[in-house]
Amino acid sequence: MKYQRSSQLFKAASEVIPGGVNSPVRAFKAVGGTPIFVSRAKGAYLYDADGNRLIDYINSWGPMILGHAYPPVIEAVIEKAQLGTSFGMPTEIETKIAELAVSMVPNIDQIRFVNSGTEACMSAVRLARGFTKREKIIKFAGCYHGHSDSFLIQAGSGAVTFGSPNSPGVTSGTAKDTLLAPYNNLDAVAEIFEANPSEIACIIVEPVAGNMGCIPPQPGFLEGLRALCDSHQAVLIFDEVMTGFRLAKGGVQELYGVTADIVCFGKVIGGGLPVGAFASRHEIMNHLAPLGPVYQAGTLSGNPLAMAAGYAMLQALDADAKVFDRLAEKTAYLHKGIAAALTENNITHTINRVGSMISVHFSETAVVDFETASEGNNARFKAFFHGLLDAGIYIAPSAFETWFITDALSYEDLDDTIAAVAKVASKL
């Protein structure tokens, strides 16, 4: 494929945008080469600036669960835009999407909308601190909760791809209040609690990790976190920015039957527009301004265009009881095909999958945490990525990212992808 126009656009972008991108993982630093510039997208496909068609497996990093340019979302945004794009005042559609979200997700009474997953997680931690009157938090190495200072301590995703897990600019004081544990390691979490009695406000966790590749929770891990939080009067925060409204209608709480105290949302809940949210029961949400002392605000929070897009998306998911089964079935089909293609070509690999999230690790061992994810053959991943790109298949340009499956993918698309994997694997 030719990427002449993309190369020109990247050169121009690099003059006026740091690194030529507005989010580091887009820069192709982990895989080499020039980022692809997109002109348009429809259904399961991207169309780049050079006119190439690509089967898309990132889907805007998750939101496009029903495909690009999904007509009900597009129509809702157009209709709302004609009435005005922002008011800085309450609108009815904020209440409508809030009511729908609360009805779909277990164990929440109220929800507040913000503009990104980062904002949602940052606000959730502040709320947990205000509720418990404690300062320290536990997060897991490799889990990414956005680019707030508290979270950029051994983060995954873009921070790893960028090559700076501990970002300069994060103060030592912030680092001291952020306690790290290995993902899927309950003993380590218990030790942290014992070493910091009555000091820990919350645990924040990706209940299915997606920023070191897709990494499922091992049996008992989420249940154990719930028990530890109960025992130590700490708040359990599920960062469901990726998993919310994707793995099940009610997210991971529904999928695994484990209750969180605060749940963070993003991606799918915005239908492709910038939206985040955090939700909890009345007891906790009543501490939030203007009812309580914990301050949080945003000029564009609840933006009518974003609310219209998110409401249309949630309505579609709420009305289609089989959509999550279809997504899981397509992902399982892809998993089986990729595994067979790699095995036939003697390529050592591990594939992790939960619902419509999947990742391919070129690793001999099971990938269960950040350490094991980091042991994969990154040189092989680079070759794999570029081979698929040349074949018209777009996956995340980082070994530390999950793939996101969309319902717009046909089984013909999946077969084309499996065939491309087989061809690429024969040359690895």
Hey, which bits of 336-427 come out as E strands?
A: 350-354, 357-361, 393-394, 403-404
Overall residue count recorded for the chain in this entry: 428
Which of 267, 311, 369, 407 is flagged as catalytic?
A: 267
H or E element, residue 147: none
Which of 48, 239, 261, 413 is flagged as catalytic?
A: 239
Residues 6+ apart with CB under 8 A from 350: 360, 361, 363, 364, 365, 366, 367
> 266 and 274 in contact (C-beta within 8 Å)?
no
Active site residue 239: yes
| Helix spans in 320-377 (H) | 323-344, 370-373
Tracing tokens 């990247």 back to the chain, one arrives at 10
Q: State how far the Cα of 233 lies from the Cα of 365, in Å rounded to an integer.
A: 36
Q: State how far the Cα of 25 lies from the Cα of 417, in Å rounded to an integer.
A: 23
In order of 5, 66, 77, 312, 397, the CA distances from 42 in angstroms are 20, 10, 16, 17, 21
Which of 45, 57, 144, 394 is flagged as catalytic?
A: 144
H or E element, residue 75: helix 71-81
In order of 115, 215, 287, 399, the CA distances from 278 in angstroms are 11, 23, 13, 28
Q: State how far the Cα of 312 lies from the Cα of 295, in Å rounded to an integer.
A: 29
Beta bridge partners of 138: 179, 203
Q: State how far the Cα of 334 lies from the Cα of 55, in Å rounded to an integer.
A: 13
List, by residue number, the catalytic residues: 144, 239, 267
